[in-house]
Amino acid sequence: MSWKVQSNATDINTLLLEESLFFNGNGYIGIRGNLEEGLPKHAKTIRGSYINGFHDIVDIPYGEKLFAFPEKQQKLLNIIDAQGIEIWVGEDNYREKVSLHSGEVLDYTRILHLDKGITERVLHWKSNKGYELIVNFKRLVSFHTRELFHQFITLTPVSKDIPIQIVSSVNGDVKNFADKDDPRVASDDEKRLSISNLSWTDESSFVEVQTKSSKLHAAVLSTVSVSSESISYRYEINDGASIQTIMKMILNKEMTLDKRTFIADSTRYEDLQGSLLAINNKTASLSFSELAKLQQEYMASFWNKTDVTIDGEDQIQEAIRFNLYHLLQSAGQDGKTSIAAKGLSGEGYEGHYFWDTEIYLLPMFTMTNPELARKLLHYRYSILDSARERAKEMGHKKGALYPWRTIIGTECSSYYPAGTAQYHISADIAYSYVQYYLATNDKSFLKDFGTEVLLETARLWLEVGHYQHNEFRIDAVTGPDEYTAIVNNNYYTNVMAKYNLQWAHKFSLLIQEEDPIYWQTLKNKLSLDDSELERFLSAANAMYLPMDKTLNINPQDDTFLQKEKWDFEGTPTEHYPLLLHYHPLTIYRYQVCKQADTVLAHFLVEDEQSEYVMKASYNYYEKVTTHDSSLSSCVYSMMGARVGYLDKAYDYFIETARLDLDNIQGNTKDGLHMANMGGTWMAIVAGFAGMRLKENGLYFRPQLPKQWDGYAFHIQYHGQLLMIRNQKDSFIVELLSGDQVDLYIWDKKYTITTDNSLVITN
């Protein structure tokens, strides 16, 4: 049920979208779903292959550059294109290319196999001269061999004795896509790669490139083999930039082509050519079917821990699995990389990592695949020194200020009101560390890197904040809502800073008890004294959280409620998103939210406010939120369920579930919206099931939308696997592995064992 995403589209515009929707990745490499044969020359396409974290350094231009503005930024690069496989039919004097836009397409289907981890295209095609054949294209990016992009093509003749010429290409002459009219896409289209090595043998083609400024190298080793007995091969180099392997044969029975492309970069390997040859040799004995079986086994393991089932709506079932699948494909798994805003599906936001990872993406991995979550958390630790340096650049003596957008740790955001001013990212990262600990009880995590990150992020708040009238206040920051910038006492920032400070103190107590020798070593390393820990607690206890007693809501900041409300009725539909049609200062002067801000804070730290205040805040901010950000609707879905608006929660969930599949925001071509994909999982698990991780245990507040007959999902808690099911007549919790779990359902405590499942009749 719903394990396939299928399309029969052949029009140019839809094929552009499908380059994102059908991308293949494994957290290390990502290959957009381009057609092997390419598109007509006039067609718009973003042909892309990426390595997670592979970047160049580009200058940031300013009209007026002030102190501590970042001078350079990192930019994810589109690397060597090895997707190309052209199939030509006919004799030397007249050949036709097998294509969706030539000859006669008798039938065409494209399938993303979510359970198998492969994509497939089946084309039944007839040439103008009457040659007829069926071509089956399969491709995967391997979870077994992370450097491998594998294409496998089966050609089946329908007519007799078809003259075939196949051209397999590896092209190093590539550059990034640019759109000067959209700030979410890079405007710099300068070519930033040069070829440093191009060679071939009878067994393989090799292309190596070097970046212009960072001097990083990336390389591709490609092999091609054909099952036909009578075949001729030759190699050609075009413009010193691409290698073509040209094969000729007569197709009179089913034939297969196996193309293996091994991709690597110099941040992981020193000798790229030697390393890729060795990896090729290691997998040479494995057939495509064997590698596909290994891929399917990996996916089965993932789905056994991660699958979410929806009873009653097939389109939603398809969407949730689609979203989870692409989250897996985009998640860095080496502790040195993270999840970019567009994953590895495209170049939107230049491949940068944002706060999205910690607040929207990590929850799913933390609760289903904690070993992968730990690696994503380690990435932030790997750039801690850069965060310390950034704090000093910003005038702070101590602490860690994480960059708003980055790849290798330095700030890449040139627009500081909606970039560097979002200090909350340091608290967001700390929050994700705490949530991981609460979910796993992983004490080694505290010692390996968790405590150090909590302490350094907590230090930042003592530097940024100040006391006034015995209250701790934080001035001149920007919260998640980027339509309101540089404000005092943003509620979200303050409450998250409070959480950060409290848990830094708690982590210090935990590690003192767990390993006092390590604790002393860490104190010495950080020049930390006990009085500083007490100041953490004092600041947290005195944290000012704005409150409007007339409206009974938490104001988004000190001045938000003083502003005039945006004229929503007078704003044309085509003027959304506002950021593309109005100057930032215009937007800043009004009560208008791009996305959930205070409402998001109520979700993350709900115990700070009463049910009444959370509901009143929801009612107020919903009226002034445009949801111009894909990060917004899922939050309003989760909090809608939390405050008793189940129908609204469902409506917001529908907006978020198929955001990319239905191209709701109109920019899926630039890459998938990863945070929104994580938000769909959260909207079900934290929204409709009401799951919360708290210091004293695991909580649920299950509800069932009337449109569904039920839903089910898996989570891991303290190393134990749970199955949660909510049906029309009952709520069921089963312990599939482990000894015993205590949890709370609607604040009532229950104990579950493997022999004693929990069944609550609705």
Q: DSSP secondary structure string, 562-574?
A: GSEEP-STTS-GG
What is the end-to-end Cα distance of the chain in Å, rounded? 27
Catalytic, out of 37, 208, 350, 482: 482
Contact call for residues 551 and 614 (beta carbons, < 8 A): no
Which of 246, 258, 263, 257 lies closest to 169 in space, CA to CA? 246
Contacts 24+ apart (CB under 8 A), 60-68: 60/412, 60/414, 62/414, 68/393, 68/394, 68/395
Written as six digits, the tokens of 211 are 């970046």
Distance CA 234, CA 223 (A): 13
Residue with tokens 């965060």: 387
Contact call for residues 693 and 435 (beta carbons, < 8 A): yes
Phi first, then psi, for residue 679 (nearest 5°) are -65, -30
Residue with tokens 């994953």: 343
**Which contiguous run of DSSP H or E holds residue 391?**
helix 384-393
Phi first, then psi, for residue 197 (nearest 5°) are -160, 130
| Identity at 671, one-letter amino acid code | G
**Is 482 tagged catalytic?**
yes
Contact call for residues 206 and 198 (beta carbons, < 8 A): yes
CA 417, distance to chain mean position in Å, is 24
Which of 38, 6, 41, 286 lies closest to 119 in space, CA to CA? 6
124-134 exposure pattern, b = at least 16 Cβ within 10 A, e = fewer: bbbbeeebbbb
Q: CB 106: neighbour CB atoms within 10 A?
A: 12
Helix/strand/coil percent split, the chain, to 5:
35, 25, 40
Distance CA 721, CA 213 (A): 47
Phi first, then psi, for residue 69 (nearest 5°) are -70, 130
Written as six digits, the tokens of 465 are 């904040």
| Identity at 497, one-letter amino acid code | A
Distance CA 720, CA 738 (A): 5
Distance CA 71, CA 55 (A): 16
Q: CB 622: neighbour CB atoms within 10 A?
A: 18
* Measured CA angle at 100 (ends 99, 104), to 5 deg: 90
Beta strands in 488-644 (DSSP E): 564-565, 590-591
Pairing of strands 132-141, 148-157: antiparallel
Q: Which residues contact 354 (CB under 8 A, 6 or more apart)?
A: 341, 404, 405, 425, 675
Q: Which residues contact 299 (CB under 8 A, 6 or more apart)?
A: 114, 115, 116, 117, 143
Cα dist. 319→165, 399, 421 in Å?
39, 41, 35
Ramachandran assignment for 696, one of left (phi > 0), alpha (psi -120 to 50 degrees), beta (any other): alpha
Pairing of strands 217-226, 118-126: unpaired
Q: Strand, helix or coil at 757?
A: coil
Distance CA 711, CA 697 (A): 23
What one-character DSSP code corresponds to residue 231? Answer: -
The catalytic site residues sit at 482
